[in-house]
Amino acid sequence: MRAYERLLKYVTFPTGSDENNEKCPSSEGQRAFGEYLVNELKSLGAENARMDDNGYVYAKIPANAPAESGKVIGFIAHMDTVSDVKYTDVSPRIIHGYDGKDVCLNAEKGVILPALPEYKGCSLIVTDGTTILGADDKAGIAEIMTAAELLLTDKSLQHGDVMVAFTPDEEIGRGADLFDVSSFGADYAYTVDGGHHGQIEYENFNAINAKVTVFGKSVHPGEAKYGGMKNANSIAMEFDSMLPKNERPEYTEGYEGFYHLMEIRSDVEKAEMRYILRDHSDVNIKIKRAMFEKCAEFLNAKYGKGTVELELCDSYANMASMIEPHRHLIENACAAIEESGGTVDISPIRGGTDGARLSFMGLPCPNLGIGSSNHHGRYEYAVIEEMDKCVETLIRIAMKYR
């Protein structure tokens, strides 16, 4: 079975994660999908295929050749999808022999996928313009599963032990929380959760989550001048205005970091703002933290102590420092991509990945492309030919760690 065929099946499972549910997995759809994957792994002949109490799926593809390196490689993908865009009743369709032009996904709603001339002649899997596709990261799962099937059945593909894992709740930042590195049994791994084939990512943002709470004082507006009104709405806007405007996400790229206002809820007496602070540089993320602290300090001096409360929480760190001592992970991935007919694209992740946290948990874990793009929205698509190349890349990596 080819990877795209598995993807078409997998996207029928509604697996949106729920940040408001503290259980793991945070949605029953993920558990149902996990059970399906365990049964599929068992049917393929994988060893010790299982799902633990927290919804993590693990399995082993046993070696079929004598071990030479003594190191075990693993592949990891996540089962959940975002839930802030419709993720149920996914209706994918295949465009064979794509002409490289705009694609009308939904005429009634006017949803048009802009032209992708680089994929002219390929076969695209697209949505109907009303839901996500769910290729993030079910394409990654499909590719790992297809590679596993080939490694288990084709004796000419000589390899050592290969571990696979499928995790819940990555999209809400919890994918690595309860990952059992010891039970997984790999020395190194790759998350299969990127973009186009050939992409290798091993540098990600340092991340801070921030909550800014402003306490105001409500006074009848007709008497506000003498009653000491303190408008939390206005002070919240003042706080935001003090941040560098050119360091918002919409104005940054590459290695440039940002301050991003995610949410604001306010009235005169109380305002709450939630931000994420991101930067690849260890120095610059500290500068961003200090900027928030200085803004709060200034406004408290201006409007009174306790007006602004600040909560800053480190979320994850740049995994580059954990990967650099194991450059073979990058070198072997580059070679495997080229051997699969791809072009290597090493780029920084403008976000986070389970691989970052796993790397700091003792499992060095770069990220690989999955042959899809426009994730987290109705314009998401996957390229069948790229998915096939991703499968070949995984197989070639596995063969390099025997």
DSSP 194-211: -SSTTEEE----EEEEEE
Residues forming the active site: 80, 170
Indicate if 183 and 43 belong to the same structural domain.
yes
Of 316, 338, 364, which residue is a domain's last? Answer: 316
Indicate if 243 and 268 belong to the same structural domain.
yes
- Residue in 140, 150, 275, 258 with CA at minimum distance from that of residue 206: 258
Q: Residue 287 and residue 76: Cα distance in Å, rounded?
A: 33
Token readout for 231 is 């408008």
What are the pLDDT digits (tens) for 9-43? Answer: 999 999 999 999 999 999 999 999 999 999 999 99
pLDDT of residue 47: 98
Q: Residue 79 and residue 91: Cα distance in Å, rounded?
A: 18
Q: Is the pLDDT of residue 396 over 90?
A: yes
Q: Which strand (E) or helix (H) includes residue 95?
A: strand 93-95
Bridge-based pairing state of the strands 162-167 and 103-106: unpaired
CATH number, domain containing residue 230: 3.30.70.360
Spatial CB neighbours of 194, under 8 Å, sequence gap ≥ 6: 200, 201, 367, 368, 369, 370
CATH number, domain containing residue 110: 3.40.630.10
- Residue in 347, 273, 356, 264 with CA at minimum distance from that of residue 314: 356
Other Cβ atoms closer than 10 A to 323: 21
Q: Is the pLDDT of residue 69 over 80?
A: no
- Residue in 81, 321, 6, 56 with CA at minimum distance from that of residue 163: 56
Indicate if 101 and 213 belong to the same structural domain.
no
What are the pLDDT digits (tens) for 149-189? Answer: 999 999 999 999 999 999 999 999 899 999 999 999 999 99
Indicate if 289 and 241 belong to the same structural domain.
yes
Indicate if 19 and 149 belong to the same structural domain.
yes
Indicate if 162 and 311 belong to the same structural domain.
no
Q: Residue 245 and residue 391: Cα distance in Å, rounded?
A: 42
Q: Residue 324 and residue 328: Cα distance in Å, rounded?
A: 9
pLDDT of residue 193: 95
Indicate if 353 and 221 belong to the same structural domain.
no
What are the pLDDT digits (tens) for 331-364? Answer: 999 999 999 999 999 989 887 778 989 999 999 9
Of 283, 316, 349, which residue is a domain's last? Answer: 316
Question: Which residues, listed in sequence order, are joined to residue 382 by a DSSP beta bridge?
Answer: 125, 372
Q: Residue 148 and residue 195: Cα distance in Å, rounded?
A: 21
Token readout for 284 is 């610059």
Compute the average pLDDT of residues 112-117. Answer: 97
Q: Are 373 and 196 in contact (CB under 8 A)?
A: yes
- Residue in 233, 242, 228, 227 with CA at minimum distance from that of residue 214: 233
Indicate if 332 and 350 belong to the same structural domain.
yes
b/e for 338-348, b at 16 or more Cβ within 10 A?
eebebeeeeeb
Indicate if 195 and 213 belong to the same structural domain.
no
Q: Is the pLDDT of residue 402 over 90?
A: no
Question: Which residues, listed in sequence order, are joined to residue 125 by a DSSP beta bridge?
Answer: 94, 382
- Look over the chain and give the mean of its residue pLDDT values, rounded to a whole number: 96
Of 279, 295, 316, which residue is a domain's last? Answer: 316
Compute the average pLDDT of residues 125-147. Answer: 97
Cis before 62 (ω within 30): no
Indicate if 154 and 192 belong to the same structural domain.
yes
pLDDT of residue 95: 98
The DSSP symbol for 56 reads: -
pLDDT of residue 389: 98
Q: Residue 345 and residue 197: Cα distance in Å, rounded?
A: 9
Tokens 């303190």 belong to: 230
Q: What domain range is 140 assigned to?
A: 3-203+318-400
User: How many structural domains comprise the chain?
Assistant: 2
Handedness of CA 374, 376, 379, 385 (dihedral sign): positive
Q: Residue 211 and residue 215: Cα distance in Å, rounded?
A: 13
Compute the average pLDDT of residues 223-228. Answer: 83
Indicate if 182 and 210 belong to the same structural domain.
no
What are the pLDDT digits (tens) for 45-67? Answer: 999 999 999 999 999 999 998 87
Q: Residue 402 and residue 391: Cα distance in Å, rounded?
A: 18
Compute the average pLDDT of residues 380-387. Answer: 98
Token readout for 177 is 């929380």
pTM of this structure: 0.87
Spatial CB neighbours of 133, under 8 Å, sequence gap ≥ 6: 11, 90, 92, 125, 126, 127, 372, 380, 381, 382
Indicate if 328 and 197 belong to the same structural domain.
yes
Q: Are 189 and 361 in contact (CB under 8 A)?
A: no
- Strand ranges across the sheet with 57-61: 47-51, 57-61, 162-167, 73-78, 188-192, 367-368, 199-201, 345-346
What are the pLDDT digits (tens) for 249-306? Answer: 999 999 999 999 999 999 999 999 999 999 999 999 999 999 999 999 999 999 999 9
